[in-house]
Amino acid sequence: MRIIGGRIGGIRLKSPKGRGTRPTTDRVREAIFNRLEHVLLDRGGFEGKKILDLFSGTGALGIEALSRGAELAVFVESNRYVFDILRENLKISSMIDRAKPFCLDLIKRDFPWRKIKSLGPFDVIFADPPYGKGMSTMALNRVMSHDILSFGGIFVLEEEWGKGPSGESFGLRDLGARRYGRTVVHLWERRDEKEDSISRDI
């Protein structure tokens, strides 16, 4: 597994052994970032953006964004073994100074949303939850209810094909979904403040 583009493109990252995790493949990650670079083209790309990487695993998505100029990436991973690999990858990539890694469980009631919110709002949020556990709807619901996605921000959800929530039901604009084998990647955009206010009034 390697970083695809940006200042540290080509750097190889560590991956956990065994089948307990499902890192995003280089092919899918490259496709995701090609789409995001296009969406963010008139906003300066990733330069200066704040990133939240939920269910971050090895941290490859957040580190890829940092390599492309993001100002900050916040990582949330609940598995201690995988979290230690994430920290190793931040050191390998020399991105630890622009990263805030947390070993926390997103589904627990005491998850510190206030602390996470204080680091945002986030311009891009990645979520790659375990397949088949209904976590994608929960993650999207909590992100939107805690108001941590910036206006115009992008929510990227990686989910099992045929599963997952509708971002439009949360007031997000659908930027399209792409299928890669058994994986589907959704991109949704939060409407700007004026549009968001109008949609709530309808």
Residues 6+ apart with CB under 8 A from 30: 4, 5
pLDDT at 130 over 90: no
CATH fold of the domain at 26-201: Rossmann fold (3.40.50)
Band (pLDDT 50/70/90 cuts) for residue 164 is: low
pLDDT at residue 194, as a whole number: 57
- Structure pTM? 0.91
The sheet with strand 122-127 has its strands ordered as 99-103, 72-77, 50-54, 122-127, 149-160, 183-190, 172-180
Q: Which residues contact 96 (CB under 8 A, 6 or more apart)?
A: 87, 90
% of the chain residues with pLDDT over 70: 90
Angle, CA 73 vertex, CA 21 and CA 49 arms, to 5°: 130
The average pLDDT across 194-199 equals: 50
Predicted confidence (pLDDT) per residue in 52-94, tens digit: 999 999 999 999 999 999 999 999 999 999 999 999 999 999 9
**pLDDT tens-digit readout, 12-56:** 999 988 655 667 788 999 999 999 999 999 999 999 999 999 999
Query: To the nearest whole percent, how much of the chain has pLDDT over 90?
Result: 71
Q: What is the dihedral of CA 91, 11, 62, 96, to 10 degrees?
A: 20
Residue 173's Cα: distance from chain center in Å? Answer: 17
